[in-house]
Amino acid sequence: MTRRRFTPKFNALPVVHTPKIYQIANMNRVIFLLVLITFSTIQLSKAQEVQQKIPDKTRLLFLLDGSGSMLAPWENALRIQVAKKFLADFVDSLRTNDQLELALRVYGHQYHRRLQRCNDSKLEVGFSPDNHDAIINKLKTIQPQGATPIAYSLEQAANDFPVDPDVRNIIIIITDGIESCDGDPCAVSLALQKKGIFLKPFVIGIGMDRKFEEAFGCMGKFYDAKNISAFKRALNEAVNQSLGETTMSVELLDHQQQPTETNVNVTFINNFTDIPAFDFVHYRDANGRPDTVEIDPVLNYDIVVNTVPPVIKKNAPIEASRHNVIPIQCPQGSLNIDLPGASEYRDGVGVLIKKDNATILNTTANKTEKLLAGTYDVEVMTLPRKSFKDVRIAPKSNISLPLKQPGVINIFLVSNGVGSLYEMDGAGQQRWIANISPESTRQSYAIQPGRYKLVFRSFKARGSKYTHIKNFDISSGGSMTIRF
């Protein structure tokens, strides 16, 4: 017999003629929804890009010391002469970078030091494209004479950068002395970095004693320009670190020092502000190679591998303008609490995983969790609670801790009252595990197999002697009804 092929007839349903005005309204509604979905997708993509992508454009502010001490001799010239010459040459060399805008702020150059003017700071050339000649010409006119208000200048510099979340803001401070106006440059620098006004400043100390490194290191990255050659190198390194493209691969090593671990969130923490700078979920390609991510080399990072518990690599060594490979050992195994019938527990069954007496993970039964190789204590929130001490998670292992399926106890009371459940051990000793509700005469509890005792007194009873006691056993998957 030949089987006839069935062809659906889509026009078999009755056609409903919608008035034209409703057709237009529905069409507008569909168009609106499509636009809304598209806009939301664009916004989401842009948010993800802003969070993870380093901006292409950089604004670089030179903060130059124009205080009286810059007139001191330095090799065969004055400090200010050397600083102005090399800074001018450097600004001239940056003309070809169309993703870079420059500005110049100077402090201590408008009033003589005997006046101790602690607001002597001025943005001499603001940010704009192709302002290199303006900065070079302005440098020629700077004549040192005043105080050293570094903290005040940093506060003012916060207003020099136009607000733009898609631009990196960087400061290079060139100075030969410490704060002279009772300000706190470190506190100001940290506060402005935390607000995202600018990245960690570069501080080039001209002809200074090494002991000043601590005073300036709290502000940002300090360079000791003890001579003119060192000054040139510091200036080059600061700009190279600001503008060079820097990438990184994080190799998550197993117990055999092989980079096989993956699928873990890796966080790069700005170790100056303690604020997360980047988050990447680790990935390995088909050949087992970790992927490459771009990072900002201006910052110093603590890398947090968010295993349980986390592994932290402090002050990860990063070289600007090159690819960096950072190996971090974090071998893992997995753990599961195997509890049949967990659904009998109305609110589910929580699991606390502890390390050194501190809870490091709050999870649920029948859920596999990855843990860093090590030894843990596990507490399962059944009734009664079950504990596993010194559970060893070996690398690549899959540990399952079995528990028996609970039974159910049904309690029927003639009236409301006060009662408690106790677990009984083989020696006849009891351990309190729960109070029953005084607000209901009918109650049910999922409870692990074992021997128990229920103690109850009705609110209507006129004396302790009317306390009821019931011993009972619960089997796995079984049930028990108690009536008082």
pLDDT tens string, the chain, 484 residues long: the values are 333 333 333 333 333 333 444 344 444 444 444 444 344 444 444 444 444 678 889 999 999 999 999 999 999 899 999 999 999 999 999 999 999 999 999 999 999 988 989 999 999 999 999 999 999 999 999 999 999 999 999 999 999 999 998 899 999 999 998 889 989 999 999 999 999 999 999 999 998 777 777 778 888 899 999 899 999 999 999 988 888 889 999 999 999 999 999 999 999 999 999 999 999 999 999 999 998 999 999 999 999 999 999 999 999 999 999 999 999 999 999 999 999 999 999 889 999 999 999 999 999 999 999 999 999 999 999 999 999 999 999 999 999 999 999 999 999 999 999 999 999 998 999 999 999 999 999 999 999 999 999 999 999 999 999 999 999 999 999 999 999 9
> b vs e for 314-335, b when ≥16 Cβ sit within 10 Å of the residue's Cβ?
eebebebeeebebebbbbbbeb
- ∠ CA 289-293-299, rounded to 5°: 135
Torsion sign across C-alpha atoms 68, 72, 74, 77: positive
CA-to-CA separations, 350 to 61, 421, 445, in angstroms, rounded = 54, 20, 16
Q: Report the 10 Å Cβ neighbour count for 157.
A: 25
Is 330 in contact with 252 (CB distance < 8 Å)? yes
Type and span of the H or E element at 85: helix 79-93
Token code pair at residue 195: 């607000």
pTM over cut 0.75: yes
Cis ω for the linkage preceding 384 (within 30 of 0): yes
Give the pLDDT confidence score for residue 40 in this predicted structure.
44
Residue 151 amino acid letter: A
Q: Report the 10 Å Cβ neighbour count for 182.
A: 8
What residue segments make up the domains of the chain, in order of their start?
57-243, 246-329, 332-402, 407-483
Token code pair at residue 256: 């055999």
Q: Decide whether 57-243 matches 332-402 in CATH topology.
A: no
Token code pair at residue 224: 């000791």
Q: Alpha-carbon distance 266 to 281, whole Å?
A: 6
CATH superfamily of this structure's domain 57-243: von Willebrand factor, type A domain (3.40.50.410)
Please report where in the chains the tokens 């009891």 appear, as a residue: 430
The Cβ-side half-sphere exposure at 233, using a 13 Å CA radius, reads 9
CATH superfamily of this structure's domain 246-329: Carboxypeptidase-like, regulatory domain (2.60.40.1120)
Strands 442-447 and 450-458: unpaired
Give the pLDDT confidence score for residue 136 in this predicted structure.
97
Give the pLDDT confidence score for residue 155 in this predicted structure.
96
Q: Alpha-carbon distance 183 to 147, whole Å?
A: 12
Give the pLDDT confidence score for residue 29 in this predicted structure.
47
Q: Alpha-carbon distance 265 to 351, whole Å?
A: 22
* Architecture of the CATH domain 407-483: Sandwich (2.60)
Token code pair at residue 203: 């501080």
The Cβ-side half-sphere exposure at 53, using a 13 Å CA radius, reads 12
CA-to-CA separations, 345 to 423, 448, 450, 477, in angstroms, rounded = 18, 10, 16, 12
Q: Alpha-carbon distance 87 to 135, whole Å?
A: 9
CATH class of 332-402: mainly beta
